[in-house]
Amino acid sequence: MRRDLAAWGERAVDGARLLARSALDTNPVPDWDHVTKVDPEGAKKLPLLYPLWLAETDAISVGGSSDVTPANTAAAFDLLAPLSTPVCHEPSGADHVTEQSQDAADLLLIPEVLNGDSEALVGTLGLAIESVREELAPELIRRTASWLPARLADWLAGVATSLLLSEAAFEAYIVQNPDSAAARESGVTAADRLDATDAKRRAMAADRHLESEIVYLEYSGTFGGDEAVEILERMDGALVRSRVWYGGGLADAADVRAVREAGADTVVVGDAFHRVAEREADLLERATTELAADASSERVREWVAERVDADGPGPRFLSTVPGVDDPVALAREYTGTTVRAWLELRARAERAREEGTSPTVDVQDTTLRAALAPVVDDPDGLAATIARAALSGPVTGTADGSRQSEQLSASLVDAGASH
Ligand SMILES: CC(C)=CCC/C(C)=C/CC/C(C)=C/CC/C(C)=C/COP(=O)(O)OP(=O)(O)O
Ligand SMILES: O=P(O)(O)OC[C@@H](O)CO
């Protein structure tokens, strides 16, 4: 009798859970419109005033499929964790998840590839779970409660592992560009590309069986165009709980509109953001020779207006953000502020060198600090971090993004300050 009652109770709970799944939004991943993917590898840079550009996006995802290491992941988190925008961590290897990355990230996103090899679906995941259960979690317990008896510590490490996985969100990827690093990492070849019918079926399996919080249509590096639209339209309405994310080659408002109208809940933009930093590096170099260190705001505004037009990377990135009404005006504003902040930091670094004082630049009353104040909680701390990174410059032999300085678009080292 007692057993019958217990079984009945369990069934009732399961039934309620199923009802809630269909009737309520139980997905812990917010329904973001726009996510910016920040790749920690050294070749992909951040604009000097990245907190301004990233204040426009709904969330940041830190990750990439090549040349990502625990060290460059840590450097990226040092720069990004202080922002008010939520920061996710999307590891592509088991060793990218560390205590520091877990502390810094608001959400762990775990990729599982629906059309790749089994290594990418469960192999790397198994390895990562093993490393959390047998290394990361026991080490954490040892450090925080070394006095615990071994058996209790081991039990707690198991609980911590389950907790990490239950709080993570799983991303069921459909990888459609076989020429991308993501495809190489997940064993996806041209023959594995899916048509709309198969893509929808696998998405339904991920939604209902794997219970993946995200179904991610991935064209990494290239825009999926009509094919992506057809797949998204086919999936639309077929999924109960998973959010649908589209990423790959988004470079302007028209691309974004097309995939959103087809049913993508969230668009993910990667390269278009890193291109802002690439262009900025050239622009700052020119500003150094063409503008006086104390150029007026008006002069800088004119100079920037002549060089930033609708086809530039800044306006293009901002045009992918659904809420931004005038991407050209906003990109000019952010670029102008960046140029002024840069000229001022250079001048301060030069002065510090001439006076033989410490190479650390005082960030009080700087354009940098003032620009950060409206978008972050601790503008003093972040301004100091950015100035320190810009001043410390690259170190010979490393260009892997493992230092914050290697992740910024420009370095002030030639202004005389050394580290
Ligand atoms: C469980 C824990 C603690 C960690 C998870 C570690 C795992 C499972 C990693 C899986 C890695 C995997 C299957 C990667 C496949 C490649 C992929 C889809 C990567 C995501 O794409 P991006 O890395 O954003 O692509 P780009 O570098 O091309 O921008
Ligand atoms: O870099 P892009 O092509 O914007 O792609 C974004 C993201 O989907 C990559 O994982």
Residues 69-96 have pLDDT tens digits of 999 999 999 999 999 999 999 999 999 9
- Ligand number nearest to the C-alpha of 36: 2
Report the nearest-CA residue for atom 8 of ligand 1. Answer: 125
* Alpha-carbon gap, residue 107 to 94, rounded angstroms: 16
The complex's ipTM works out to 0.97
Q: Which residues contact 147 (CB under 8 A, 6 or more apart)?
A: none
Q: Looking at the chain, which residues constitute the CATH 3.20.20.390 domain(s)? A: 27-273
CA dihedral 82, 88, 91, 94 (to 10 degrees): 80
Give yes or no for a contact between 321 and 57, defined as CB atoms under 8 angstroms apart. Answer: yes
Give yes or no for a contact between 321 and 31, defined as CB atoms under 8 angstroms apart. Answer: no
- Ligand number nearest to the C-alpha of 219: 2
Going from the Cα of 263 to the center of ligand 1, the distance in angstroms, rounded, reads 24
CB neighbour burial string for 78-114, b if at least 16 within 10 angstroms, e if fewer: bbbbbbebbbbbbbbbbebbbeebeebbebbbbbbbb
* Alpha-carbon gap, residue 34 to 215, rounded angstroms: 15
CATH architecture of 27-273: Alpha-Beta Barrel (3.20)
Single pTM value for the model: 0.94
- Ligand number nearest to the C-alpha of 101: 1
Q: What confidence tens digit (pLDDT) does each residue in 307-348 have? A: 999 999 999 999 999 999 999 999 999 999 999 999 999 888
Ligand 2 nearest-atom number relative to CA 216: 8
Cβ burial of 259 (10 Å; 0-12, 13-18, 19+) is: buried
Q: What confidence tens digit (pLDDT) does each residue in 257-311 have? A: 999 999 999 999 999 999 999 999 999 999 999 999 999 999 999 999 999 999 9
Q: What confidence tens digit (pLDDT) does each residue in 134-152 have? A: 999 999 999 999 999 999 9
Report the nearest-CA residue for atom 9 of ligand 2. Answer: 220
Going from the Cα of 8 to the center of ligand 2, the distance in angstroms, rounded, reads 47
Ligand 1 nearest-atom number relative to CA 221: 28
